[in-house]
Amino acid sequence: MKKQVYLYYRFERFWHWAQAILILFLGFTGFEIHGSLDIFGFEAAVKWHNIAAWAFIVLIVFAIFWHLTTNAWKQYLPTAKNLKAQMEFYVTGIFRNTPHPTKKTILSKLNPLQRLVYLGLKVLVIPVMVVSGLFYMFYRYPQSGDIETINISGLENIALVHTLGAFLLVVFVIVHLYLITTGHTVTSNLKAMITGYEEIEEEDADEEAEEEVRKHDIPV
Amino acid sequence: MKRLITVLLILLVPPFILMGIAGMGGNGDDETDYVPRKQDPMYQDASVDHSKFEELQKDFNNAHEVTKACLSCHTERGKEVMSNAHWNWERDAHIKGRGVTYLGKKNLINNFCTGIAGSEGTCTRCHIGYGWEDKSFDFNDQSNIDCLVCHDNSGTYRKAKGAAGYPYPSIDLGFVAQSVGSPKKENCGICHFFSAGGNNVKNGALDKALLNTTKDVDVHMAKDGADMACVECHITEKHQMKGKYYGVSSMDRNRATCTNCHGARPHEDNLLNEHTIKVACQTCHIPRYAKANPTKTRWDWSTATKLDEDGKPYSIDNDEGQHEYLSIKGSFEWGQNLKPDYIWFNGTADHYLLSDEIDETPVQINTLKGKYSDEDAKIWPVKIHKGKQPYDKKYNRLVQMKLWDEEKGQGALWKDFNWALSIEKGMEYIGLPYSGDYGFISTEMTLPLSHMVSPADQSVKCEECHTRSNSRLAKLEDFYMPGRDYNAALDTMGSILIILSLIGVVIHATLRAVSASSRKKASANK
């Protein structure tokens, strides 16, 4: 028996898609500043990259607030349980049509691999990008002038760290876009992130909890 | 929850759009409050009409008498003039490694006409004095000052050729004396436009075109614009002019700056204001030089002294009417509407002294100091003038030849066309040893550009520097610039990662499709 379960809350979905758009936009403008692309022109790319960066920072502030106040941050706690099984699933099981080793529930939406990767993004890659990005925006050359901010002798190290992060994010986006096709059906994960509902095995569902959650549209 | 998202949308989207739209507008007009003299009522009516002074209403027998008449009222001005570089053709300067020096046109060599030693009679046509023919000139005699060359407002005063600074005898000195005033473009231009023997030859952005030009050529001096005079930026108090020419200057002091009028943060866009920490205004606002007329880019002295069949000097002109060859000076190359070269420059310079030994080729006639890590250094646009000029092969030094004399037979290159003799005479005059063994060596001179500022909308675009190919700043390699620079290893590694992930995805997807279809077949067979 399968059942429609409400998995992704409205804010969560908004946050996800806003972040997706911003990361893509930052990627294109950023790689234009880097000299790899020629789409907007350097000047416009810089301008829009900076604006998008501020929008992203605002979004991050709200996302952090949401994760903390709703306990949703616990979704990202790494676990060794099923980690090996999940890896085996992607390497072999998926070709034999074996079922997903990790069951999605409202209390645990992420498989152990997702937990690791998303946690890495949240505590490592994105903070590094934000911090190096802010340095990039606000650093000044060593100078004795009237503009007082941080004096850094050059842009090179900041730029290299920021570029490395950008490459990692591109790789993440590619792999992420592919892996969302590995749900029950090719589009079931995508649909879930758009509508909030996903079909999961009824035996895993806790009807009461879900009903409660859906009513208030808040995570557990 | 709905409300939160609405609030977020309101917070995020409009600023995003607004900031973008505001950013598109550019920098707006950077018009200043400055009222150019031509439009300033204070300068319309002179407080003094010199034609009403009895002292000036007479026939002067010579130019010295005019100077004495000037000084009879302006009693202390002579002293002021005598302390400036226009008079002394040298300045005291402290140069690292050399100590205190006294350098200037008087004793330096360049790679245009080289130097004045032994040829003063013709070179001092551009000295603000009368009678500097040789070393015996009296720099302490105030009546030797030429007030008129700078202060003539009648446009009729001219210094004569080869006359050591004296005017043509035909000039009505009384009339000139009665029409003096603040220096106009023409007064400065007569020497500064025509230095090195012709219009715009030396600097490349000091051109007679500035007397009557448009904003496209010079936004400050344009007839259809502010129509400013030189002295409006080169502010002069007590005959001390602001501004300097780094062909002869060495120290970062008393410079004429853009920021004097425009301020240190003249752009609306902060990102542009930040650039001014490391980039001189000139770098973006003088995208090209020699915009109106060509300038000399190369001067090869080694081909000079060829004579025609009749033993006479000759010249060959190019299609545009510039000299390509002159028997007296050698071969030239010219350029128009040129992209500047760029260097780090902190306002200090060193110079090749005739007593220096050559330690690099091309010999650097002047060396502008600065690098990225130098707090005072900014990127500056420069003209680099290439030369080939005589040097002493044995002593390994540049040499000064005697170029000019009134008569043949005195060893002047331009009269006798004898290299060996002219160098011997020149070095003898200076008092430096010469082995007699001369050759020609490549030299370079670096001239910072500050004139012929273009309108804001024609300034250098971001992409012209922040680009991987053909960046204007390609030669400045001592710093990281976004858009131009990247770490090849990191970029390669990143690209490989991306390609590997794409390949992985494709293989994985293919395997999934294949296994799914074989499963389908298998179940169908059952």
The answer to whether the CB atoms of B480 and A96 lie below 8 A apart is no
Stretch A80-102: mean pLDDT, rounded?
Answer: 87
B239 and B87 Cβ atoms separated by less than 8 Å: no
The answer to whether the CB atoms of A178 and B508 lie below 8 A apart is yes
Interface probe for B, chosen from A178, A180, A181, A182 (most Cβ of B below 10 Å), is A178
Burial of residue B363 (CB within 10 Å: 0-12, 13-18, 19+) is: buried
Provide the shortest C-alpha distance from residue A48 to chain B (in Å). Answer: 7
Distance of alpha carbon A95 from alpha carbon B519, whole angstroms: 9
Q: Which residue, chain included where needed, has tokens 């500022």?
A: B453
Condensed to tens digits (0 to 9), the pLDDT of residues B152-185 reads 999 999 999 999 999 999 999 999 999 999 999 9
Distance of alpha carbon B357 from alpha carbon B363, whole angstroms: 10
The answer to whether the CB atoms of A156 and B485 lie below 8 A apart is yes
User: What local confidence, expressed as pLDDT, does residue B18 receive?
Assistant: 62
B15 pLDDT tier (thresholds 50, 70, 90)? low
- Mark which residues 471-490 of B lie under 8 Å from A by CB: 479-487, 490
Burial of residue A28 (CB within 10 Å: 0-12, 13-18, 19+) is: middle
Residues 6+ apart with CB under 8 A from B210: B185, B189, B193, B217, B218, B221, B451, B452
CA dihedral B483, B487, B488, B491 (to 10 degrees): -80
Flag the least confident range among A83-92, A168-177, B280-289, B403-412.
Answer: A83-92
Domain covering A2-216, topology = Fumarate Reductase Cytochrome B subunit (1.20.950)
User: What local confidence, expressed as pLDDT, does residue A211 receive?
Assistant: 64
- Mean pLDDT for chain B? 93
Coil/strand/helix, residue B501: helix
Distance of alpha carbon A76 from alpha carbon A110, whole angstroms: 8
Provide the shortest C-alpha distance from residue B342 to chain A (in Å). Answer: 19
Distance of alpha carbon B52 from alpha carbon A205, whole angstroms: 109
CB of B521 less than 8 A from some CB of A = no
Joined tokens for residue B327: 């028997």
B476 and B307 Cβ atoms separated by less than 8 Å: no
Q: Which residue, chain included where needed, has tokens 């009513």?
A: A215
Condensed to tens digits (0 to 9), the pLDDT of residues A135-177 reads 888 877 655 445 555 566 778 999 999 999 999 999 999 999 9
Stretch B256-283: mean pLDDT, rounded?
Answer: 92
CB of B264 less than 8 A from some CB of A = yes
3-state helix vs strand vs coil in chain A, percent to 5: 65, 5, 30
For chain A, give every domain's residue range.
2-216
CB of B512 less than 8 A from some CB of A = yes
Provide the shortest C-alpha distance from residue B265 to chain A (in Å). Answer: 10
Residues 6+ apart with CB under 8 A from B196: B112, B113, B202, B296
Distance of alpha carbon B380 from alpha carbon B38, whole angstroms: 31
Residues of chain B with Cβ-Cβ distance to A47 below 8 Å are 20, 23-24
Widest Cα–Cα separation across chain A: 72
User: What local confidence, expressed as pLDDT, does residue B28 receive?
Assistant: 43
Respond yes or no on whether the N-terminal peptide bond of residue A219 is cis (omega within 30° of 0).
no
Distance of alpha carbon B485 from alpha carbon A28, whole angstroms: 18
- Mean pLDDT for chain A? 86
Residue B25 has pLDDT above 50, yes or no: no
User: What local confidence, expressed as pLDDT, does residue B42 receive?
Assistant: 73
The answer to whether the CB atoms of B12 and A59 lie below 8 A apart is yes
User: What local confidence, expressed as pLDDT, does residue A220 receive?
Assistant: 43
User: What local confidence, expressed as pLDDT, does residue B521 receive?
Assistant: 86
Condensed to tens digits (0 to 9), the pLDDT of residues B73-124 reads 999 999 999 999 999 999 999 999 999 999 999 999 999 999 999 999 999 9
Condensed to tens digits (0 to 9), the pLDDT of residues B181-230 reads 999 999 999 999 999 999 999 999 999 999 999 999 999 999 998 999 99
Residues of chain A with Cβ-Cβ distance to B375 below 8 Å are 141-144
Flag the least confident range among A185-194, B289-298, B416-425, B488-497.
Answer: A185-194
Stretch B242-262: mean pLDDT, rounded?
Answer: 95
A81 pLDDT tier (thresholds 50, 70, 90)? confident
Condensed to tens digits (0 to 9), the pLDDT of residues B35-54 reads 877 778 777 777 899 999 99
CB of B520 less than 8 A from some CB of A = no
Residue B26 has pLDDT above 50, yes or no: no
Interface probe for B, chosen from A8, A36, A42, A49 (most Cβ of B below 10 Å), is A42
| Amino acid, res. B479 | F
Residues of chain A with Cβ-Cβ distance to B490 below 8 Å are 160, 163-164, 167
Interface probe for A, chosen from B2, B3, B5 (most Cβ of A below 10 Å), is B5
B525 pLDDT tier (thresholds 50, 70, 90)? confident
Condensed to tens digits (0 to 9), the pLDDT of residues A39-62 reads 999 999 999 999 999 999 999 999
Condensed to tens digits (0 to 9), the pLDDT of residues B301-321 reads 999 999 999 999 999 999 989
User: What local confidence, expressed as pLDDT, does residue B280 receive?
Assistant: 97
The pLDDT > 70 percentage for chain B reads 94
The pLDDT > 90 percentage for chain A reads 54
The answer to whether the CB atoms of A9 and B516 lie below 8 A apart is no
Q: Which H/E stretch holds residue B281?
A: helix B281-285
Condensed to tens digits (0 to 9), the pLDDT of residues B414-431 reads 999 999 999 999 999 999
B7 pLDDT tier (thresholds 50, 70, 90)? low
**Closest residue by Cα to residue A45 from B13, B466, B281:** B466
User: What local confidence, expressed as pLDDT, does residue B283 receive?
Assistant: 98
Q: E strands of B202-322, at which residues?
A: 236-237, 240-241, 295-300, 315-317
User: What local confidence, expressed as pLDDT, does residue A138 receive?
Assistant: 82
Residue A217 has pLDDT above 70, yes or no: no
Backbone phi and psi for residue B157, each to the nearest 5 degrees, phi listed first? -90, 130
B478 pLDDT tier (thresholds 50, 70, 90)? very high
Widest Cα–Cα separation across chain B: 129
Q: Which H/E stretch holds residue A69?
A: helix A42-70
